[in-house]
Amino acid sequence: MMQPKGSILELCQVVRDMELALDHWTRVMGAGPFFVFDVPVLPGQIYRGAPTQVAMKVAFGFSGGLLIELLQQTNDGPSVFTEMLDRYGEGYHHVMLRIPYDDGVARLSGEGYAMAFSGRMPSGERFALFDTREGNGGYVELMEISTAMEASLDRMHAAHCAWDGIDRPVRSIADLG
């Protein structure tokens, strides 16, 4: 079962070498299969109040009901990702709450946390990362999860449940169909 609404849906690790990270998470940790794709610079990205341009390669795979995201920034735009990599190296970056976007913004803002990075997905969903390092050592992501995005997550989770742990541990996002 995928993580229920109201819980932490995702754990994100920032990495410098996607291939090494994928090998570790599939072979050692048993997560996967991972679906990999490039995310171009999305219009309207804001980093700490100023426009930025961040491109990345991401990989999504499940471990049980928890979505694991591996994220490698592929350009040098200022971001919350390079902040963590430059200061602490590879590893834990953020969790994503599976709650309505506006409720999450109200909750995190009400706790005094600042929105550090925000924008919109190509299909229009809003996303934001709040700087919660004082509380949890990383960031908290909020995202509007559309019906189409929910369906993709369901297909990724189904692939995880059916996966033998060996065959095709790394796949293209196009393989989701």
Which amino acid is present at 73?
Q
Question: What is the count of structural domains for the chain?
Answer: 1
Q: Looking at residue 79, which CATH number applies to its domain?
A: 3.10.180.10
What's residue 167's pLDDT? Answer: 95
- Print the domain residue range for 114: 8-162
On whether residue 17 sits in a domain, the answer given is yes
Rounded-to-integer distance, Cα 134 and Cα 115, Å: 14
On whether residue 95 sits in a domain, the answer given is yes
For residues 93 and 12, the answer to whether their CB atoms sit within 8 Å is yes
What's residue 150's pLDDT? Answer: 93
On whether residue 33 sits in a domain, the answer given is yes
| CA proximity to 99, closest of 107, 90, 88 | 107
On whether residue 172 sits in a domain, the answer given is no
For residues 121 and 49, the answer to whether their CB atoms sit within 8 Å is no
- pLDDT tens-digit readout, 35-51: 999 999 998 999 999 99
On whether residue 170 sits in a domain, the answer given is no
Rounded-to-integer distance, Cα 103 and Cα 124, Å: 18
On whether residue 3 sits in a domain, the answer given is no
- pLDDT tens-digit readout, 140-155: 999 999 999 999 999 9
Model confidence pTM above 0.85: yes
On whether residue 148 sits in a domain, the answer given is yes
pLDDT average, residue stretch 86-105: 97
Instruction: List b or e across 78-101, with b for residues whose CB sees 16 or more CB atoms inside 10 angstroms.
Output: ebbbbbbbeeeebeebbbbbbbeb
Least confident of 65-69, 73-77, 81-85, 173-177: 173-177
On whether residue 147 sits in a domain, the answer given is yes
pLDDT average, residue stretch 171-175: 94
